[in-house]
Structure 1
Amino acid sequence: MRNVAREKKMKKFTNKMQAKLLLVFCIIILTMIGLIVRLVHINRTDGERYAKKVLSQQTYTSTVIPFQRGSILDRKGTVLATSEKVYNIILDVKFMLEDKKYLTPTIKALTDCYDSIKEDTIMDLVNKRPESRYVVLEKGISYKKMMQFKDKEKKDNNIQGVWFEEDYVRKYPYKTLASDVIGFTSSGNVGNWGIEQFYNDQLNGVNGIEYGYIDSELKLEQTTKPAINGNTIISTIDANVQGIVQEHIKKFNKDMDCKNIGVIVMNPNNGEILAMASNEEYDLNNPTDLTPFYTKKEIGKMTDKEKLDALNAIWRNYTISDMYEPGSTFKPFTVSAGLEENIIHPNDTYLCDGGQNINGVEIGCSHIHGTVDLTQVLMKSCNDALMQIGAKEGKQLFYDYQNFFGMGRKTGIDLPGEALGILVPENKMSPVDLAISSFGQTFTVTMIQMASGFSSLVNGGYYYEPHIVKQIVNPGGATLQNFDKVLVKESVSSETSEFINNAMYLTVEGEGGTASGAKVPGYKVGGKTGTAQKFPRKDKRHLLSFIGAVPADKPEMIIYVVLDDPQKVEPSAQSSGIATEFAGEILKDILPFLEIYPTESSKGLNISKTTPVLPSTGTQTNSDKNTTEDTNMSNGNSNEDNADGNTTEADDKDANAKDNKDSDNTSDSSEGDGLETDNDNTFTESDEDGEILDFIPDTLESDNGLGIQSENNN
């Protein structure tokens, strides 16, 4: 019975059923074959389009993530340079042409959103570069501009083939402010000049990368390596002080038209540069623009090399890259060397009889000062006494101290392009060279050398390395490095420093001092003037300067001003009084920003002419007596008695020189030079007031071995 029942159950799966099952299997197999054929066909014909479409719908594509270059700030946090995120418009021409329906909507969206993109431009790409996958249509658009296009893209799926690449653009909010100090960047985040170049590696970061792919299980695998942004540089510059200095330079140069103007404001107690400027300021946002300096006609005539030379002349930092003869501003260094070696003493006196005859060369002083003490030597800028001091020191000691005070070598300031200056080597220094070098000619220096050395003379005798950066901070705000003061050496004793400060104070404030133009009501100002006659001496053009400190008894800042050949001033009228008054005007405006405040009036103070002592409290007030310096010629001419009764300095009319063996020709040396002889065989020149101006012989131009001109650095 059981076997019969089993047979009946088995008979239910009939042949008809088997045939139906076979038919189902056949249909399935055929369907699968059809799908495979279809997939193969799609992959061969449209595989790339579908793959691109998948990737285009993803926010993760293989791309570089650019780093953000670090910012540059002033000492109080004002942003001087920063990098702003922008977007580049990229067109994938080949993908846009994958479907005819993409072309017109995409072109219309681009031209509607961006005026700079023209339909003709895109069609030209379509015709000439249909296979291109990466064409930059526009660079540096804002986020707002990018979103205008994105909104259109969301509304129309036929807008295809356009994507946006992140980038950064360097911006300088204050355009020309501190252009000499900051520098600029070129393509690829490459710093040029200034902080941008010197700290390029610190400012730059590392690019990141973002990419994705679909694995064997059809899952999107994404990998992102974030960019590392650059560090922020906090400079020592005070933007307010820097701006004031630059405004004064622009205003002054409209009237004077100097070939070069340089100004350094510095903290003598730590080497920090508070302001550094020249007359060649340029817009950091457009550094290659020559139109502010030349006419379109002049630019049109320039070759590419001439344009590059012109730009380099604009970009260079005059205060560290140009060399010149300092003139009488070097006299405090000569005196300090003698004091340090105990060769001279504060109470020493010198007889000025109008000049010195050195190996047959008559080198004159601007006046017969008579008997002067060491303080008066600096106050009246007496070349005769300086030559006597130089002779006592000797060429070896003098040369050694030039080096010791930082002349002829780099200071180590953290800016590119620093020049060395040129000294007359000891083994080539003749007695005439030594005499003229004692009051600041025959050798060249840079402004930063003079400012750093002078700082050490007035701050108690400590030579600090000058620097332009205060701090480096990482993107997270953590301090990576502080640039504290770096003591390089002790240059002079505190006693010598005190003497120099007192002498500099009396040079500005004392009766007969040559730098009264630097007075600022309520402040104790000390300083020294200089007028160096440039090469060729016969042209009688001058470089005028003033270097000073405030407060004079305990300096918190120094200022150094150099005016190279004011073109709108006749040579006979080019005196360091111009630079002194210019410095005084700057001081009036910047001292409050530096938080240096007036003290009590110093009127009526009893100041010893021999060993002056600055009042511990009190400041000078402007006296009614008009005291100006007429340093017409470099090397220390001092005009003390004008026809109008005013007291003036011939500070830089330092030397009247002649070669006794030569007949009738010599050259000038008012800290400088020139040529003229009168009938009694004295080598002098008279200005409009009958002032006697003295000069350095032209023969010394070749004898000293320098072979350079002070204007050769322009």
Structure 2
Amino acid sequence: MAKQYQFPERPIRRKRKKKEKKFGNSNRKKLLLIFLIILFFICVLIGRLLYINLSNSDTYARIVMAQMDYDSKSIPFKRGDIRDRNGTVLATSEKVYNLVLDPYVVLNSNGDCEEPTAEAIEDYFGIDESKVYEVLDDSPDSRYVVLAKKLDYDTVKAYQDFMNSEDEKDQEESAYIKGIWFEEEYLRQYPYDSLAASLIGFTIGGNQGTWGLEGYYNDMLNGTNGREYGYLSEDSDFERTTVAAVNGYNLVSTIDLNIQRIVEKYVTQLAQERGSKHTGVIVADPNNGEILAMADYPTFNPNSPRDLTAYYTEEEIKDFSDTEETEILYDVWRNFCVSDTFEAGSTIKPLTIGAALDESKVSVSDSFNCDGGEDLFDGVGMQHIQCHNVYGHGTTTLQEAIMWSCNDALMQIGSRIGSEDMVKYHRLYGFGQVTGIDLPGEASAENLVFDESTMGSFELATSAFGQGFNLTMVQMVAAFSSILNGGHYYQPHVVREITTENGQVVKSFEKVLVRNTLSEETCDWLKEAMHQTVADDGPNTTGTAARVDGYTIGGKTGTAEKVPRGSGKYVVSFIGFAPVENPRVVVYVVIDELEDNQEDSGAPTKMAGDILREILPYLQVFPENGEAAAGNGGDAGNYQWGAVQETNADDTPEDSEDTEGGQAGEGSSSTSDLESFVSQWVDEDGDGYDDITGEYYWDDLAEYMEQNGINTE
């Protein structure tokens, strides 16, 4: 066994203690000397500060305050304009001035400055001298007191011209006027008051856009504030540096001011003569999704958006609680065309038939037997769904199903389509989805449409003629426009361009094709069927009130009973277009709870016809030789506001077999030749000049009256 090696033990070493160093007297003397030197300089500094404070405190205080004022002076940006498609300003920001008084400067300047300053303020700004003296007495050390707000440029300029005058007498007087300066800010203004109010929106808190384009494009319209800085140079001169404000971008909208004015004229007329809970009108170009006009009732003035005196008395307004007032304002501000949903009624029928044609479930030669209604199981029991003609239309062709607005025929067509395909086409038409229009608050009605699991035979039947599911006006316009342009669904939009203040284009919004809906062949057939809905003189035709002499007009009426059924509350509507051969414009009118006769679908039909009569010539779409186009027959605007008629649950009057739907009953009269002649012009202020063309027409009118033996008095 090998012997293990043993390491020798190491000896233990002890550490020596280090000798502690002592702080000697010499070090103490050095430390004391340093302390005394520092103390000496501190005393010198304190002495210097005391001397400055006692001898030159006012001078340095003014310099410091001037620097502080300059460091805090912000240069406001100008919020961008909102213009119509032709460049007319619909919303703009105008520079205004706040009058600021510096009492400290007035009271501590050389000479007696109180009286001259107070007199100048009274002379140029209309503020009583006593108020100025009161401010000087109450706040002698203040550097900032606002005496007046939102002064216009002319008022401020008159004062500045006096202060900068080269006249010796003026200079002597102005030398003792001290402590007056101005803050700049911008005031948002709407030159046309309530015109397109819900579409444009308004601002609060200076530059915070609310509702409409003001809210949707708030960040683009806003700019960045600038600033003025002050500092002392090496030579103790006060220097100034300015960082300029960056103004906001301008919006060029698709809205046409003249079309908007025409639309709002008729919306106001309906409100004054008949009344409604809500009324909405959209005018659009079906070929690119551009909205040409959008108006609703009730409305407001964005220059004073909280003013409710147009609808309530002062006493009523005072009695409102905060919650009640907020709810009322919300209802007034909300854009009915975008934010409200409703059952569309029979305006859906062309879309339903279009789906059936494209799915080959019906053909244009098919006919249907209308016996007044259908019996269907609603999940609880059998329900009888009536046609508006409870006696039945009898044998009804596919085209007549649209012309006569036959619910029975549409229920049979819906049954052929089936739930799966009906839901598919509802999605193609954009129902239950937002359109993506560039306006805030768009409702989708996602929870108010059917899917494959919720659409039974009963729901299939009612949805075929436009009840049982909800949509918005802008959804309907987008879907219906796809019929008019050959089957292309374009995203609706309200802005064409975003530009700089110099007019350079930052962003341009072209038409956006979202999807295709129907075949071109189907669209052409539907347009002709809707043309006959307006043009045909048969007793069951529903759209004759929309006729316009010299033009081919197409369209479809709609009446939907609101939930709960049997409440007597209805939404009536009409969607029309022109010319039929090459549609340039679509007009959709919706009236929610028409006060004097809620089922009167002739009211929106008449309004759409009146709007088309005025805007078609403006759009350079002229009548054929000044005479009614083939098939359009009858007088333009034959429905009179005062001739209220009773209608059935859909589109036609009671006793529809004897009376044309949508036309006035007994006692109504056609528009006279003179009225037709005058209706060529838009002259709201009665000065004899056409508001759109600017042409003087009274001489032509006088000549016409003389030639036709009409008393010119």
The whole-number CA distance in structure 2 between the counterparts of 1:38 and 1:55 is 22
The corresponding residue for 1:389 is 413
The answer as to whether partners of 2:548 and 2:635 remain within 8 angstroms in 1 is no
Q: Which residue of 2 aligns with 1:410?
A: 434
Distance 1:128 1:624, change over 3 A: closer
- 2:120 pairs with 96, 109, 112, which one? 109
Alignment of 1:164-183 (within 5 A): 164-183=182-201
User: What is residue 547 of structure 1 aligned with on the other side?
Assistant: 575
Tell me if structure 1 keeps the 8 A contact 2:547–2:636. Answer: no
Check the 8 A contact 2:282/2:589 in 1, yes or no: yes
Unaligned runs of 5+ in 2: 1-47, 164-170, 668-713
Amino acid at match of 1:463: Y
* Number of the residue aligned with 2:618: 593
Conservation of the 8 A alpha-carbon contact between 2:536 and 2:631: no
Which amino acid is 1:144 matched to?
D
Give the counterpart letter for 1:464 in structure 2.
Y
Distance in structure 1 (CA, Å) of the matches to 2:545 and 2:219: 45
Match for 1:138: what amino acid?
Answer: A
Would the alpha carbon gap of residues 43 and 241 (structure 1) be closer, same or farther in structure 2, given more than 3 Å must change? farther
Instruction: Decide whether the 8 Å contact of 2:490 with 2:511 is kept in 1.
Output: yes
**CA deviations over 1:433-480 (Å, ceiling 9, x no partner):** 221111111111110011110000121000000000011111222111
**Residue identity in the other structure for 1:554:** N
Distance across 1 between alignment mates of 2:324 and 2:93: 31
CA distance in 1, matches of 2:476, 2:65: 68
Residues 566-623 of structure 1 deviation map (CA, whole Å, 9 limit, x = unaligned):
21x245xx321121112111211121122222236897xxxxxxxxxxxxx8573326
Distance 1:50 1:420, change over 3 A: closer
Structure 1: any 5+ residue segments left out of the alignment? 1-35, 604-616, 651-686, 690-714
State the one-letter code of the partner of 1:103.
E
Residue of 374, 379, 383 corresponding to 1:361: 383
Count of paired positions: 597
- Kindly provide the amino acid, as one letter, of the partner of residue 481 in structure 1: K
1:165–1:437 Cα change, 3 Å: same
283-292 or 591-600: bigger deviation:
591-600
Q: Check the 8 A contact 2:212/2:440 in 1, yes or no.
A: yes
Q: Is 1:380 aligned to residue 404 of structure 2? A: yes
Change (3 A) 1:84 1:649: closer
Pick closer, same or farther for the CA change 1:311–1:91 going to 2, 3 Å: same
Contact 2:85 2:253 in 1 (8 A): yes
Of 535, 556, 561, the match for 1:528: 556
Q: Specify whether residues 639 and 249 from structure 1 end up closer, same or farther in structure 2 by C-alpha distance, changes over 3 A only.
A: closer
Structure 2: distance between partners of 1:458 and 1:66: 47
Change in Cα spacing, 1:146 to 1:312, as seen in structure 2 (3 Å) is: same
Q: Judging changes above 3 Å, is the alpha-carbon distance between structure 1 residues 330 and 126 closer, same or farther for their aligned structure 2 residues?
A: same
Describe how 1:153-168 pairs up with structure 2 within 5 A: 153=163, 155-168=173-186
Query: Superposed, which structure 2 residues align to 1:196-595 within 5 Å?
Result: 196-359=214-377, 360-367=382-389, 368-421=392-445, 422-512=448-538, 513-567=541-595, 569-571=596-598, 574-595=599-620
Contact 1:523–1:619 (CA under 8 A) maintained in structure 2: no
Measure the CA separation in 1 of the matches of 2:615 and 2:75. 44
Kindly, what percent of the aligned residue pairs are identical? Answer: 42
Aligned to 1:126: 136
Q: 1:627 to 1:432 in 2, by over 3 A?
A: farther
Q: Does residue 646 of the first structure (1) align with residue 674 of the second (2)?
A: no
Which residue of structure 2 aligns with residue 148 of structure 1? 158
Residues of 2 paired with 1:329 and 1:580: CA distance?
Answer: 12
State how far apart, in whole Å, the 2-side matches of 1:45 and 1:369 are.
100
Report the CA distance shift for 1:355/1:519 in structure 2 as closer, same or farther (over 3 A): same
CA distance in 1, matches of 2:121, 2:82: 36
Measured at CA, do residues 620 and 147 of structure 1 come closer, stay the same or move farther in structure 2, by a change above 3 Å? same
Distance 1:191 1:624, change over 3 A: closer
Name the residue aligned to 2:63.
51
CA distance in 2, matches of 1:533, 1:128: 67
Superposition deviation, residue 486 in structure 1: 0.5
Displacement after TM superposition at 1:151 (Å): 4.5
Q: Match of 2:407, as an amino acid? A: N
Is the CA contact (8 Å cut-off) linking 1:627 and 1:648 kept in structure 2?
no
**Contact 2:546-2:637 at 8 Å conserved across structures:** no
Task: Choose 180-189 or 374-383, whichever is displaced more.
Answer: 180-189
Contact 2:343 2:470 in 1 (8 A): yes
**Deviation at residue 630 of structure 1 after TM alignment:** 7.1
CA contact (8 A) 2:647 2:654 kept: no
**SS class of match (2:559):** strand
Shift of 1:493: 0.4
Q: 2:181, 2:323 → 1: CA distance?
A: 39
By how many angstroms is 1:535 displaced? 2.7
Distance 1:688 1:372, change over 3 A: same
C-alpha contact 2:547 2:637 (8 A) present in aligned 1: no
Deviation at 1:53, TM superposition (A): 9.5
Q: Which moved more, 1:130-139 or 1:170-179?
A: 130-139
- C-alpha change, 1:105 and 1:380, in structure 2 (3 Å) is same
CA contact (8 A) 1:233 1:473 kept: yes
Task: Give, in whole Å, the separation in 2 of the partners of 1:364 and 1:484.
Answer: 45
Q: CA RMSD in A?
A: 2.9
Distance 1:626 1:358 in 2: 39
Cα separation, partners in 2 of 1:584 and 1:625, compared to 1, 3 Å: closer
Name the CA distance, whole Å, in 2 between partners of 1:112 and 1:183.
38
Aligned to 1:708: none
* The one of 599, 604, 620 aligned to 2:632: 620
Question: In 1, distance between residues paired with 2:295 and 2:314?
Answer: 26
Question: Following the alignment from structure 2 to structure 1, what is the Cα–Cα distance between the partners of residues 456 and 98?
Answer: 66
Q: 486-495 vs 61-70, which deviates more?
A: 61-70
Deviations 1:404-456 (A, max 9, x none): 10111111000001111221333122322221111111111110011110000
8 Å contact 1:631–1:637 — kept in the other structure? no
Report the counterpart of residue 71 of structure 1 in structure 2: 81
**Per chain length, whose mean CA-contact separation is higher, i.e. which structure has more relative contact order (CA < 8 Å, sep 6+)?**
1
Deviation digits for residues 163-219 of structure 1 (CA, Å, limit 9, x no counterpart): 111111111111111111111111231111111111111111111112222222223
SS across alignment from 2:115 = helix
Task: Indicate how the Cα distance of structure 1 residues 127 and 307 shifts in structure 2: closer, same or farther if over 3 A, else same.
Answer: farther
> TM-score, normalising length from structure 1?
0.79
1:184 partnered with 2:209 = no
